[in-house]
Amino acid sequence: MAAATTRSGTVITENVRTRTIVLRVPDWPGHRPGQHVDVRLTAEDGYQAQRSYSIASPPEGPAIGA
């Protein structure tokens, strides 16, 4: 799957140990159950981090919840 860029997202605190990251990605082609996304972040100082997240939202939803 091709890379997508988003600058809008929401973090929902589910409990003290669990958070949900909700991303709104323009032109998201959809996903399949069990799929994951790789999230890559670049800080202003150039530091980069990458982590893989399982998609927890339904495929027909308007946003990606991980």
Residue extents of the structural domains in the chain: 9-65
Q: What is the pTM of this model?
A: 0.57
Residue range 21-58, pLDDT digits in tens: 787 777 777 788 788 888 888 888 999 999 998 887 77
Closest to 24 measured CA to CA, from 53, 4, 49, 42: 4
Task: Give, in degrees to the nearest 5, the angle at Cα 66 between 8 and 53.
Answer: 110
How many beta carbons lie within 10 A of that of residue 42, not counting itself? 10
DSSP string, 3-23: ------EEEEEEETTEEEEEE
Residue range 5-24, pLDDT digits in tens: 556 678 888 889 988 878 77
